[in-house]
Structure 1
Amino acid sequence: PTRIGAEQELSIVGEDWEPAPFAMEILADIGDPKFTTEFARFNLEINLDPLLFTGDAFSKLERQLWRLLTKGENAARKYKAQLLLTGILPTLSHPHLSLDYMTPLKRYEFLIEALRKERGGNFEFRIEGVDQWISRMGHSFIESCNTSFQVHYQVAPQDFVDKYNWAQLIIAPLMAATCNSPLLMGKRLWRETRIALFEQSTDLRNPELAYREAEPRVTFGKDWVRYSAMDLFRNNAFHHRILLAPIDEENSLKTLEQGKIPKLRALTTHNGTIYRWNRPCYGITDGKPHLRIENRNMPAGPTVLDEIANAAFWLGMMHGMPDNYRRLYEKLDFKLARRNFFHAANDGLTTHFYWPGTPGKVPAQQLILEELLPIARQGLEIANIDRADIDRLLSVIEERVKSGQTGAQWMVDAFERLQKQGTKEEALTALTAAISKRQQVGEPVHTWQLPDIIEAGDWEKRFFTVEQFMKTNLYTATPDDPVELVVRMMYYNNIRHVPVEKRDGTLQGIISARTLVRFYNNFSEKERKKMAAKDIMETNLVTVTPQTKT
């Protein structure tokens, strides 16, 4: 019998709707092995029970997830925190990417150091959407911004090639329908920004390797699978260096000779450090080895119901794969499947896809509604999933696609609305509060109304930290700039303070309107013409961090 499974990643937020680093404390209070750590102290993971893919499997999955989330919520309240399901938390900011927020476990310290050594330099980030986000960091901790809802599907070895290639084909329209991560650091980027962020945060290739088109560790892949799952496992061994060694050693051949099933620790540990969006997995259940495909592209949220519907859509498509989609390597250039994937991540439901047997490109909504949803329904019927669950869950996908209101679209529309009512930081706070409120109600995202700024709570919630109302797009001067330039900068932009900083952004001092009054009173015109910002700036400054409480 086919088994399915799922893993829920989530964020922890405080009263101010900012990331709250209480993962270790919450885990200690819960005392449930189904809860485990993630990379950051403001994230958690829940491992749900494997289930037989039949009957009321989705209802069981939904009930267990709600029960465990409620358990986590109860533990989080002790720390004035709560749990949130969203692909990228809107209120995440640069201070949260400090290694001070990393979960204090040796394996994470070792992994981040191994990644840094392998990279041999800074990690470079550039993601462009409506806005542009460019950054450089000395480590890969920014990967912790991403949270997902990962779903597993067991596959018979003889079916692996066709099923895996089918998973590669359908992942693009699946992502178009499920995207929920359009914002990063207040920038409107891809509809599923997690894809670009994760790939760039673990790209260990130096310029030479990139030039040679070496495969990155986070990858969609470079070609169709043709022979077996070993194509992928061999590729892992041949193209990626070992970052982590298994805790216990095992002689797999000797284990086989003894008539036992090897755990293949070395293979599974190495495979766990290579992040294919469709990842092949080896495991043992009830003493029997199996292969499964782990879908890693679906984001956390917007609600439990949305996530279970997403899982049903993907699992139904996997189980209902029509025979005419076998041997895909003969029917579609892999580069087009790859193109579909990245365009869906960027554009969501407005994407047009290349599709086998179809001339030109097919609109995402047409492909999903007319072909993929019927395939998913047939697959769920073949698995004997309860009829009520099939109708309920697939109707969520159908209505979402018809309306065009994915989680990503709702967030973009909400953010634009909220920015008209307050500052960007207020908008991000209100957006996060609105997601939480609607998530607790549990209605699917296509039914959500747009929020108002008041949803962030009273002014204390909206202005809980300095970061929530400070401005970052500043007019600044360098130490060598003429004072006359500073004067004109203040006059034309109607401002009273100009920070003085080095070209690398290091703060050196500040010039205020009061500084200029003294400047004009104390120096002659001839003296003033020779003076630069460094000659009059105030340097005895009191500074605070963005996280300073108001």
Structure 2
Amino acid sequence: MGDEVEQRTFSRQDRQDFRRKVQQCLDALASMLADDTFAVDEPRIGMEIELNLVDDAMDPAMANTAVLEAIADPDFQTELGRFNIEINVAPAPLAGDRMRTLETELRASLDHADARAKETGSALAMIGMLPTLREEHFAAQWLSENPRYDLLNSQIFAARGEDIELNVTGVPLPGSREAESLHRIVDTILPEAACTSVQLHLQVAPDEFPAHWNAAQALAGVQVALAANSPFLAGRALWHETRLPLFEQATDTRPQELKNQGVRPRVWFGERWITSIFDLFEENSRYFPALLPVVSDQDPMAELAAGRTPELTELKMHNGTVYRWNRPIYDTSDGEHHLRLENRVLPAGPSVIDVMADAAFYYGALRSLVDADRPVWSQMSFDAAQDNLHSAARSGIDARCYWPEVGWVSPQELVLRRLLPMAEAGLDAFGVDPDVRDRYLRVIEGRCLRRQNGAVWQRSALAARERAGDDRGRALAGMLADYLDRMHDGEPVHTWSW
């Protein structure tokens, strides 16, 4: 969720000072971009995975403080809800067999964390949205203890001026013709905590960033269709990837009147292809008021003049409260500065190999799209890419997507015919060993051929339990228990039965 801040109130002067400081950071960033002083490392896979905590009854376990103390590993950190934690995976080279090694290390780390969590009466669930979350779990008492979360909660509601409306109409379950819906008014941002994701990072040179961001935007809908894993919330069957509309609504600072005026949402796909990474940072400062206007003492232009690396603290703070599905990141390390592309569309889970397969497909397809002689974003409208994302979130692998030279097509046909060979070529270009490449891309191929991702399995497994006589609550808990067993078995989700 970003840098920690202390609990406090903000004055009108704080907001004006922060705005001026963000502009100074933008000026410094523009200078650095012009001088081309950014560090560019070899291509690496960087990853964050958000996790849920459950108790023996498969209900949310409000125990992240105790679980983190038991795990005692700085790679694991707190998240928004007391039923959330996050693991930050250290960046590793893409080339050679390093992805396979990373898979082994990630599996071992999660197994160790789960064993320690069980000592506290909890267990880890790597899933896009916890099916057993109920509306009472969105009460303010379940915000994590970190002051940043309570402060962010209060600032979003202060900006909005009223409670948040959640409104999602779902897709009928297998064997049913009736769509279920969720329509509730909530007074905290805790529904955002239901949205647990995998975030993929790639360090990118400034002049190459626009092509990478544009390609990631074009690819986002296909990613979600392949990986959807968030079909249930508050006892209802909603979208295949309910995480997307829920996150959009749960952090929306706009009352209805501002929506009617076309004011941009803070969870944002964007509105155009870009030609510079500066476009994204500038849009964030131009369109979105500060939520956490904390001003540092550092003068970024003075740091540059002294030959030092500026932290751009205010720019980073503000950027962290604008939730683009593909987000630009400025960061510093060991006196150097670099830029990363953060891909945020993927849900967590279902298994470690599924997560690695999603990552391999993304990095490989992205590389091929960037290297193509004719960019895909020059052949399709930005609106088409955005429509693909929302269609995929709603219908998952049953969606229809638009792609240049193909037209309207199912995600699995598009992947099998076009994008899987591109992902293979992209991983080859990164120097990934062929056996490692094939290990992960065969998982993507298997999902397409069987037409089963996490959301399809969850929906089918729940429908089977209800046909056998379970009520909804019992069916959700039983399905989740089966999911966790298969998650630990480690086989990819397209092989799971119900």
**Cα distance in 2 for residues equivalent to 1:174 and 1:186:** 26
**Cα distance in 2 for residues equivalent to 1:207 and 1:434:** 41
153-162 vs 169-178, which moves further: 153-162
Aligned ranges 1:356-435 → 2 under 5 Å: 356-358=404-406, 360-421=407-468, 422-435=470-483
Is the 2:215–2:370 Cα contact (8 Å) retained in structure 1? Answer: no
**Cα distance in 1 for residues equivalent to 2:486 and 2:88:** 24
1:126 counterpart SS class:
strand
Shift of 1:6: 0.2
Shift of 1:248: 4.0
Is the 1:6–1:49 Cα contact (8 Å) retained in structure 2? Answer: yes
TM-score, scaled relative to structure 2: 0.87
1:49 counterpart SS class:
strand
Residues 427 and 247 of structure 1: CA distance in aligned 2, closer, same or farther (over 3 Å): farther
Give unmatched runs, 5+ long, in structure 2. 1-41, 173-179
Q: Does 1:294 align with 2:345?
A: no
1:37 aligned partner: 78
Shift of 1:357: 3.1
Residues 326 and 268 of structure 1: CA distance in aligned 2, closer, same or farther (over 3 Å): farther
1:85 aligned partner: 126
1:57 aligned partner: 98
Match for residue 201 of structure 2 among 108, 129, 152? 152
Match for residue 267 of structure 1 among 300, 315, 336? 315
Shift of 1:189: 1.0
Structure 2 counterpart of 1:290, which letter?
H
Q: Does 1:171 align with 2:212?
A: no
**Cα distance in 2 for residues equivalent to 1:410 and 1:249:** 52
Structure 2 counterpart of 1:206, which letter?
P
Shift of 1:334: 1.1
- Can you list the C-alpha shifts for 1:408-434, whole angstroms capped at 9, x where unaligned? 001110110111221111101101100
1:346 aligned partner: 394
**Cα distance in 2 for residues equivalent to 1:74 and 1:328:** 45
**Cα distance in 2 for residues equivalent to 1:326 and 1:98:** 50
Shift of 1:346: 0.6
**Cα distance in 1 for residues equivalent to 2:353 and 2:464:** 25
**Cα distance in 2 for residues equivalent to 1:64 and 1:115:** 38
1:455 aligned partner: none
**Cα distance in 1 for residues equivalent to 2:374 and 2:254:** 34
**Cα distance in 2 for residues equivalent to 1:286 and 1:361:** 48
- Can you list the C-alpha shifts for 1:196-223, whole angstroms capped at 9, x where unaligned? 0000001111222211211100011111
1:103 aligned partner: 144
Shift of 1:4: 2.4
Match for residue 12 of structure 1 among 30, 50, 53? 53
1:48 counterpart SS class:
strand
Shift of 1:192: 0.5
Match for residue 310 of structure 1 among 341, 350, 358? 358
Structure 2 counterpart of 1:176, which letter?
A
Structure 2 counterpart of 1:166, which letter?
A
- Can you list the C-alpha shifts for 1:437-493, whole angstroms capped at 9, x where unaligned? 11111111011110xxxxxxxxxxxxxxxxxxxxxxxxxxxxxxxxxxxxxxxxxxx
Greater C-alpha radius of gyration: 1
Greater RCO between the two (CA within 8 Å, min separation 6)? 2
Match for residue 211 of structure 1 among 240, 260, 263? 260
Shift of 1:73: 1.3
Residues 173 and 329 of structure 1: CA distance in aligned 2, closer, same or farther (over 3 Å): closer
Residues 292 and 325 of structure 1: CA distance in aligned 2, closer, same or farther (over 3 Å): farther
Is the 2:67–2:122 Cα contact (8 Å) retained in structure 1? Answer: no
Q: Does 1:320 align with 2:368?
A: yes
2:107 aligned partner: 66
1:454 aligned partner: none
**Cα distance in 2 for residues equivalent to 1:38 and 1:222:** 29
**Cα distance in 1 for residues equivalent to 2:247 and 2:232:** 14
Shift of 1:286: 4.4
Is the 1:166–1:325 Cα contact (8 Å) retained in structure 2? Answer: no
Q: Does 1:228 align with 2:276?
A: yes
Aligned length: 448
Structure 2 counterpart of 1:283, which letter?
D
Shift of 1:56: 2.2
1:192 aligned partner: 241
Using the aligned pairs only, state the percent identity.
38
2:495 aligned partner: 447
1:298 counterpart SS class:
strand
Is the 1:162–1:328 Cα contact (8 Å) retained in structure 2? Answer: no
**Cα distance in 1 for residues equivalent to 2:107 and 2:315:** 34
2:346 counterpart SS class:
coil
248-257 vs 83-92, which moves further: 248-257
Q: Does 1:279 align with 2:320?
A: no
Structure 2 counterpart of 1:178, which letter?
A
Give unmatched runs, 5+ long, in structure 1. 451-550
1:416 counterpart SS class:
helix
Structure 1 counterpart of 2:147, which letter?
K
Is the 2:242–2:394 Cα contact (8 Å) retained in structure 1? Answer: yes
